Structure 1
Amino acid sequence: MAMPELCQLAQRGDLPRIRAVLASSPCSDRLLDTRHRKSGDSVLHYAARHGQVAVLRYVCEDCGLSPETGNVDGKRPLHEAAQAGHTECVRYLVGRSVQIDVLKRADWTPIMLACTKTNLTVVKLLREAGADLTIRNKDGWNCFHIACREGDVNILNYLLDCDSTLWDSVSTNGRTPLHTASLHGRVGAANILLQRYLFDEHGLPVDTPASGSGLTALHFAAKEGQTNAVKLILRFGSSANTKDGKGRTALHMASGGQHAECVRVLLNNEAQDGPDCSGNTAEHLARKQAVKEIFSQLH
């Protein structure tokens, strides 16, 4: 049987058939060690990715495959199980004392991948096994920054309870977790950050600019039309008229993106239209009639 077929059995969790195939093969070791031609995935990767813990246990314990097997991207079974949120596979692999902070290509650890999903149990298992929450990937993001992008409030609160300094990080492009949460409209995440850190001794000014661009959380939210995030940030004292490095306000961002409701909210919160460094006003940037009408109604 060719390797892809064996992997299909692993995906389905058909352990009896896998046993039968290997028992009937004169070269079972070579069959098990065969990889997907392009990805380099092994039976272990397929089992972990699809949550087949019985297959994972069998090929590790009975067949002797190493749970540290990597594919061409450097992903190991723990990466696969964590990314897919398969609790029992993660529990099994952690119990085998695999490397917790092993990096795949682009410097992603298993806990970073776990934070792209909503399975708090997996995150806890990795943390309790010693996962480092402060490791950063090639983009300068740690697992908390990634969790802010996804917005699961349970994971965010847990990570902050483990390390209350995680909020204070900056990505390679100069964004804080608050910037990222605002950009993606993760209102729950932004609310946690603002409630927990805006007024404490650390100080998280709501209008802290991203280094380089000068964009604030309000700019990012308005740019993507994240109306609820815009409303939240304004409630926490953001100035509707803060300018970025090019002289643009959030109103420029919302108008340029044709986000009519964001434009309405900003104008109702004392946003003032004026020229940016290129001489463009927000009203000039409004191309859609719906956005233009808002300006005309409020003039």
Structure 2
Amino acid sequence: MDQPPTTDPYPLHTAARLTQTHTLDSLLTSTPKLALKPDEDGRLPLHWACTTTHPPTIQALLDATPPRSFDPDTQDTSGWTPLMISSSLPDDAGLPAIQLLLARDASVKITSNTGATALHFATSKGNIDVVRTLLDAGASARVKDKRGQLPLHRAAAVGNMPLVKMLLGRGRSPVDATDVDGCTALHHAVGEGHGDVAVELLRVGADSGKRDGEGKLAIECAPDKSVREFVLRRAEMEGLEVEGG
């Protein structure tokens, strides 16, 4: 019976993923074109390097690819760019890589197959420094993904107050935009039990009278009585009206 081949068809991808610096340098010296070879998922070695928190590996791959023959926005089969991958690493771990990619003119405006931008991914992971960096680089907080969600919807859903404030302030995100389910950021904040975020959205003018696709007001999405009462009590203390309260 034939034995499966033991040779790695993508040695540079493996070296990048495992941050094997010596192997990476050797392969780039002997066969530099490997840096531009996509694997079966359409990923370059750089995509895999960006799944790590090892900037030297990323820098080595960037240095080995002349700008004229290298596209930092190459998308894999899911539409992810290296910048998106770095933006999605938790705890702002991808920030050094993002800075390297932006220095090579990586775009913050590319969307994945689901319509999400790097800003969507960074927001979902609560990466405050990354979100700030992407906004400074021109990322728009006004772009919806294919579910109709802005980064603000995601920030509200995970209850990240600093990101909610940043997206509304520096990002100038619309506060009452609805997703495909008719939900606003306020619906998501209340529905996930983040009463403090819900009150902040009301404070900046969120419309508590908007109904989602099922006809529900945001306050009617509260998961329990305690969340509902918290929002109503805090809103009353601040002189804010809540429709349906």
Does TM, scored on the shorter chain, surpass 0.5? yes
| Residues 195 and 231, structure 2, Cα contact 8 Å, conserved in 1 | no
Q: Does 1:149 align with 2:155?
A: no
Report the structure number with the largest CA radius of gyration: 1
1:196 is paired with a residue whose SS is coil
| Residues 230 and 262, structure 1, Cα contact 8 Å, conserved in 2 | no
1:84 is paired with a residue whose SS is coil
Distance 1:54 1:181, change over 3 A: same
Higher relative contact order (CA 8 A, sep 6+): 2
Alignment correspondent of 1:264: 229
Alignment correspondent of 2:158: 184
Once the two structures are overlaid, the 10-residue window that deviates more, 86-95 or 185-194, is 185-194
**Equivalent runs, 1:1-299 vs 2, <5 Å:** 33-35=7-9, 42-62=10-30, 66-97=34-65, 98-117=70-89, 118=92, 119-163=94-138, 166-198=140-172, 204-210=173-179, 212-255=180-223, 258=224, 260-268=225-233, 269=235, 270-273=241-244
Could you tell me which amino acid in structure 1 is paired with residue 227 of structure 2? Answer: C
The one-character-per-residue Cα deviations of 1:55-87 (angstroms, maximum 9, x if unpaired) are 211122146671223222112210011122321
Q: Work out the CA distance in 2 between the residues paired with 1:65 and 1:54.
A: 17
| Unaligned stretches of 5+ residues in structure 1 | 5-29, 36-41, 199-203, 275-299
Alignment correspondent of 2:238: none
Q: Work out the CA distance in 2 between the residues paired with 1:233 and 1:107.
A: 32
Q: Work out the CA distance in 2 between the residues paired with 1:272 and 1:100.
A: 48
Distance 1:100 1:213, change over 3 A: same
Q: Percent identity?
A: 28
Q: Work out the CA distance in 1 between the residues paired with 2:162 and 2:19.
A: 29
2:51 is paired with a residue whose SS is helix
TM-score, scaled to structure 2:
0.83
Once the two structures are overlaid, the 10-residue window that deviates more, 219-228 or 75-84, is 219-228
1:83 is paired with a residue whose SS is coil
Task: Give the CA RMSD over aligned residues.
Answer: 2.4
| Unaligned stretches of 5+ residues in structure 2 | 236-240
The one-character-per-residue Cα deviations of 1:110-147 (angstroms, maximum 9, x if unpaired) are 00111002221110111111211111111111112222
1:216: Cα distance to partner?
Answer: 0.7
Distance 1:64 1:142, change over 3 A: closer
Once the two structures are overlaid, the 10-residue window that deviates more, 45-54 or 115-124, is 45-54
1:272: Cα distance to partner?
Answer: 5.0
Q: Work out the CA distance in 2 between the residues paired with 1:141 and 1:227.
A: 26
